[in-house]
Amino acid sequence: MGKNLLIAQSGGPSSAINAALSGILMEAAKSPEIDKVYGGIHGIYGVISHQIADLTNQIRTAEEFKLLETTPGMALGSCRFKLPPLEKDTKVYEKLVEIFHSYNIGYFLYMGGSNSMDTVWKLSRYLKDKNEDIRVLGVPKSVDNDLSGTDHTPGFGSAAKFIATSMEEIIRDSEAYPINSVTIVEVMGKESGWLTAASILPHHFGENAPHLVYLPEVPFSMGQFINDVQEAMKKERAVVVAVSEGLKFSDGSYVAQSREDENGYTSVGQVLERALVSTIGGKIRSIVLNVLQRCSGHLLSAADVIESRRIGTFAVRNVLNGETGKVLVFNRVSNSPYLINVETVPVEQVLSAGVKGFPLEWISPENNDLTQEALNYLLPLINGEVEYSCKAGMPVHFRFDLTPCQPPKTEP
């Protein structure tokens, strides 16, 4: 009798994490070492709460796998929950081991970003210290693309494609009227500017817009921003600006918090819009793309879906080969032709490196534009289109039966 595999998802949703889940389920179904496949409902928090569903045989056909791969969000549900430090509290770890034993779990794959990899690190350390033969691997996911140790993360390519496409459409809208205007587009990215960088992809196709781009990796100056916009308006009737939600002043404070609303927060786009209205005037507006960037199933990158499925497949193979306490990563071999390898690295190596910021050398000296190297990096990640199922004109999404199940009965 084989061991069972447990999968859980964590962190912010994306448009490709379910493609990685599809790859895991495909590979697990043909692996004789795996008896049953379980899913933790709402991440590690659900596992601790005995919220575990039996996924075995819930998905069988190629059509069902494709439907899962084109369904955005988290098919197993998510959470934002960090395990306590091992040095302070081991009760939750003891409970997890008890739960793993009751479901005969031999392999645990945790999908998510840096907080999820923190769980992989802590749990794998505890299991090793207790001589438990339960292997734990991290399967990366982050639309922010800020996980260190990997060239890029599953989910980023599709989010980048949505941002680039939205930017093109905003450009068309902004130039429709014969009046001067400024449109500020706020993009996700609290600590890193990877997603905002994707806004420059229209440049590859001859667009001048966005005319200005600001990332959180360099200090933001309100005075310089206003001057940049004024200079751009001398050349362009409709100026389009892309900004990261995480822009900071030189003192480290967030631009978005420089003019707080009654709830203590406002968007960076609104702050910049107000600054321009009070100094330049005219038609000025801000647009916040918000969660649409990470839940857009109709603008998937084929490269992203294929790679996500692939990394899920490799996760099963690697955990069956005895690896634990590691995370799957992409290593880019070349841009042209675009080639990547799937590898594993120790999860503590990824965590110790901290947040992966956007390369400073890819930002212009004026801190308001990006270089050709940035385009070369981004273009392969958004390549290819994905067909998705529709009914009555609307996309069809896949749903598991996530009814919690009891542990299997053991022989007396």
340 class by beta-carbon count within 10 Å (0-12 exposed, 13-18 middle, 19+ buried): buried
Give 356's DSSP letter.
-
Which token pair is 349?
């190596």
Percentage helix, strand, coil, to 5, in the chain?
A: 40, 20, 40
Pick the catalytic residue: 54, 144, 146, 304? 144
Strand spans (E) along 56-118: 105-112
Distance from CA of residue 122 to its chain's centroid?
22
- Name the nearest CA neighbour of 315 among 306, 300, 307, 327: 327
Is the distance from CB of 154 to CB of 311 less than 8 angstroms?
yes
Distance from CA of residue 366 to its chain's centroid?
29
Which token pair is 68?
């899962």
| Sequence-ordered list of residues with C-beta below 8 angstroms from that of 410, at least 6 positions apart, any chain | none
Which token pair is 321?
């080969």
Helices 302-320 and 62-69: angle between axes, nearest 10 degrees:
110
The rounded distance, in Å, linking the Cα atoms of 43 and 80 is: 8
Is the distance from CB of 53 to CB of 100 less than 8 angstroms?
no
The rounded distance, in Å, linking the Cα atoms of 295 and 311 is: 20
Is the distance from CB of 4 to CB of 102 less than 8 angstroms?
no
Helix (H, G, I), strand (E, B) or coil at 93: helix
Q: Phi and psi of 244, rounded to 5°?
A: -85, 145
Is the distance from CB of 83 to CB of 65 less than 8 angstroms?
no
* Residue 298: how many other CB atoms lie within 10 Å: 13
DSSP secondary structure string, 291-330? GGGTS-GGG--HHHHHHHHHHHHHHHHHHHTT--SEEEEE
- Residue identified by tokens 């998905």 is 59
Q: Which amino acid is at 355?
A: V
Assess whether 144 carries a catalytic annotation: yes
Residues assigned a catalytic role = 144
